Amino acid sequence: MLKKLKIRFVATIMIILSLVFILIIGSINYFNYQSNERQSTALLKSLVDNDGIIPQDPPVAPNAANPIPPGAYERERTFSIKLDPAQTLIAVNGSPDLSELSQEMASLMTAVLAGGKDSGSQDGYRYLVAEKPYGQILVFVDQRISNEMMDRLITTSLIIGGISMFVLFFISLFLANLMVRPVEEAFEKQKRFISDASHELKTPLSVISVNADVLEDDIGVNKYLSYIQSESTRMNGLVNNLLTLAKLDSMACKPVFSEFDLSNAVLSIALTFESTAFEENKRYQLNIESGLRFIGDIDKIKQVAAILIDNAIKHADDQGLVEVTVKKAGDKIHLEVFNSGAGIPEDQQTKIFERFYRYDESRSKETGGYGLGLAIAKSIVDEHKGKIKVKSELNQWAKFIVIL
């Protein structure tokens, strides 16, 4: 439980930090991109307004929508091409000397004219096409250096963000351990109390039970004496369950893993419940595939089977069916215990594995349950790296499935 709490704490912190980093890095790169776009657009429009001639740096108006920063024309490579109505070249950079037209300029001009768009990007250049009295003017600004700088900024941001997340992961892990420590101490005290109290209760319960048996031999059958014997038996079962949970929590009873015949193990437990099912007026069926072997703690797996079968018999309706199945499913082994009856509501199916949780108090009083059996079964299954789940149809049936 504490391990899951730490994982959730660290995961929550990392998710929040990831979202913050994504927002910061995304915002920085987005505004940088928008700034470059505005500057390129302003340069292109300025070139068009100056008929393709690179102007001197104009004074920056304080309220200008897209001011051109000083020295922008020196930093960015720009050029212009003038065409007559027949799209014949008449000037380059405002000069009728066509020798300034390079192969790169000619390729860009051809590509832009073929595309038929008034603005856009072509081979790392931003361009703008405008109509003029003499025909058209094509102006270009080289964005390859700006694009490379933006790529570097993105890469640097991601690297810094990744390193920061790596460092913050260990910081959050340290904080999680620090914050969970009081809970861990309280949990340890609770486990120690349950274990100590259970041990202390066993002695008086044994004394009560023995004296009740002796008294029965002296006075014979007595209604009130039978109540004492019944409740002491139930109390003894509760104490044993509490001790089992305390041991599972503290790992005091570590599982002894070995390979064994799971089919025979479940069968040996299931057969002991035949008389109980008969006395309870329940139909009892076994469908156990033979020869299935498993590596685990045989005694604890038997305990899981016993808990589920006992639970099924108690909650099956009169003349209802209780069916125990063990089968191979791919590379897994399924232990399934089915019973007809009231079933389990969908919103209760995850809660029934919690300690002391009973979704039907009236039924639990009849069957004598304390809500610990399924919690023990789940702890054992988790210990074996397996899964336990329940399927049910309300007022029809319920089935517990252990996947090993």
The per-residue pLDDT for range 244-263, each reduced to its tens digit, is: 766 666 655 567 788 999 99
Q: How does residue 325 score in pLDDT terms, banded at 50, 70 and 90?
A: very high
Is the pLDDT reported for residue 156 higher than 80? yes
Helix (H, G, I), strand (E, B) or coil at 403: strand
Q: Quick one: pLDDT band at residue 57, thresholds 50, 70, 90?
A: low
**What's the mean pLDDT in 262-284?**
91
Range of lowest pLDDT (9-13, 90-94, 214-218, 320-324): 214-218
The pLDDT-based confidence of 339 (bands split at 50, 70, 90) is very high
Confidence at residue 200, expressed as pLDDT on a 0 to 100 scale: 66
**pLDDT bracket for residue 149 (50, 70, 90):** confident
Residue 374's pLDDT band (boundaries 50, 70, 90)? confident
H-type alpha helices, 76-143 = 103-115
Give the confidence band of 64 by pLDDT, cuts at 50, 70, 90: very low
**Residue 278 pLDDT more than 80?**
yes
Given a cut of 60, is residue 384 above it in pLDDT? yes
Least confident of 18-22, 209-213, 304-308: 209-213
pLDDT at 2: 67
**More confident site: 99 or 127:** 127
User: Which amino acid does the sequence have at 232?
Assistant: S
Domains of the chain: 2-54+67-148 (no CATH), 258-403 (3.30.565.10)
Say how many residues make up the chain.
404
Q: pLDDT digit string (tens) for 157-194?
A: 889 888 988 888 888 888 888 877 777 777 676 667 66
Q: In 239-369, which ranges are E strands?
A: 258-261, 283-288, 293-296, 321-329, 332-340
* 98-112, 122-136, 282-296, 347-361: segment of lowest average pLDDT: 347-361
pLDDT for 199 equals: 64
Dihedral through CA 121, CA 127, CA 131, CA 136, nearest 10? -110
Q: How far apart are CA 293 and CA 237, in angstroms?
A: 31
The overall average pLDDT reported for the chain is 81
Average pLDDT over residues 301-329: 91
* Per-residue CA distances from 386 to 163, 294, 296, 333, 376 (Å): 36, 12, 11, 10, 14
pLDDT reported for residue 116: 84
Per mean pLDDT, which of 5-9, 37-41, 159-163 is the most reliable?
159-163
Which pLDDT value is given to residue 243? 72
Listed range (102-111, 189-198, 283-292, 336-345) with the worst mean pLDDT: 189-198
pLDDT(362) > 60: no
Under the banding of pLDDT at 50, 70 and 90, the label for residue 337 is: very high
The pLDDT-based confidence of 61 (bands split at 50, 70, 90) is very low
| Token output for 290 | 């033979």
The mean per-residue pLDDT over the stretch 137-163 comes to 86
What three-state secondary structure class fits 360? coil
